[in-house]
Amino acid sequence: MSPFLNPSSSNSRSRAAGLRRGFGTVDTLLVVGGAALLAWGGLYLGKYSGRFDVNEFDEIPHGRAPKAVAVAADPNAALLKAGMVAYGKSCVACHQADGMGNPALNIPPLAGSDWVMESSPNRIIRIVLHGLNGPVKVKDTMYSGGQMNPWLKTPDNTAGLTPEEIAAALSYARNTWGNKAPMVTADQVTAILKETEKRVDPWTMDELMKVPMTSGVSASAAITPDQLKAALKALPAAELEAVLKEMKK
Ligand code: HEC
């Protein structure tokens, strides 16, 4: 057994010799070990220093742009795609793919609708959350006899839409078929949901006309990447896949 490991096992003579030998070993170790460390340090820097270039420390892996980064690059475009999916799920049956509605069934158009394109989304968010009943005037035409059901997802209405999906569907309707209006965010939808949480009945046109356009939520708000992430997360897997596929086009 080495005297370093169990010095008590040696007699004092061989112990002294062992210690002398020991110091020699330590010197050699320092030189060899130091050289090895330097060599390792050089190799490490060679491999990981990134040539001391700040751009090397960019979190985006070079050569392959991850999907999430592509999404964040244009949050509005992604929201519109998510909106197209939500619209296809919940609105298209009545308001049609071209947004023209079905006047014969008293379903008004969203394309060119003054309601849809109002700068503040205060009224249209209410319509989708709680529905609309009674006559409604759209593009100078009176539609009566139709009713739109509430579209908020609740325990009683599991086929409904989340606030994120409602924001996406409305953003889509506001920016498709030649329509042009600010995007709608999930925050705006939840803010109005809070304001109207006691409401049960669908809205009527007269009631909605009294909803101020300036109070409640602000007229326009650009969607943030976080809100977009939340919107995308809220989509069922199959729909998210459809959005991502659509975005690759
Ligand atoms: C079952 C049919 C139906 C579905 C589904 C439906 N709506 Fe409607 N929507 C209507 C009818 C009918 C009216 C008019 C109600 C009335 O006459 O009071 C209306 C009115 C509206 C209006 C106000 C009038 C206008 O034309 O601008 C908006 C905005 C609207 N719907 C948006 C949506 C959105 C967004 C969705 C999907 C989340 C949706 N609707 C789903 C039937 C429907």
The tens digit of pLDDT for each residue in 226-244 reads 667 777 777 778 777 877 7
128 CA to centre of ligand 1 in angstroms: 7
- Domain assignment present for 243: yes
Q: Can you give the pLDDT at residue 3?
A: 46
Residues 6+ apart with CB under 8 A from 22: 3, 4
- Domain assignment present for 62: no
C-alpha distances (whole Å) from 117 to each of 141, 189, 222 are 16, 16, 16
Supply the mean pLDDT for the chain: 80
Q: Can you give the pLDDT at residue 121?
A: 95
108 CA to centre of ligand 1 in angstroms: 7
Q: Identify whether residues 31 and 149 lie together within a single domain.
A: no
Q: Identify whether residues 38 and 88 lie together within a single domain.
A: no
Q: Can you give the pLDDT at residue 27?
A: 67
Q: Can you give the pLDDT at residue 169?
A: 98
The tens digit of pLDDT for each residue in 151-192 reads 999 999 999 999 999 999 999 999 999 999 999 999 999 999
Instruction: Give CA–CA dist 111/137, Å, rounded.
Output: 14
Kindly report the protein residue whose alpha carbon is nearest to atom 42 of ligand 1.
148
Q: Can you give the pLDDT at residue 144?
A: 92
Q: Can you give the pLDDT at residue 173?
A: 98
Q: Identify whether residues 131 and 223 lie together within a single domain.
A: yes
Q: Identify whether residues 148 and 184 lie together within a single domain.
A: yes
The tens digit of pLDDT for each residue in 100-136 reads 999 999 999 999 999 999 999 999 999 999 999 999 9
Q: What backbone phi and psi angles, to 5 degrees, belong to 125?
A: -65, -40
**Which atom from ligand 1 is nearest to the alpha carbon of 109?**
26
Domain total for the chain? 2
Pocket test for ligand 1, best of 90, 95, 125, 140 (most atoms within 8 A of CB): 95
- Domain assignment present for 87: yes
CATH of the domain at 128: 1.10.760.10
Banded model confidence at residue 212, pLDDT cuts 50, 70, 90: confident
Q: Identify whether residues 118 and 197 lie together within a single domain.
A: yes
Query: In which domain, by residue range, is 33 found?
Result: 7-57
- Domain assignment present for 1: no
Q: Identify whether residues 18 and 74 lie together within a single domain.
A: no
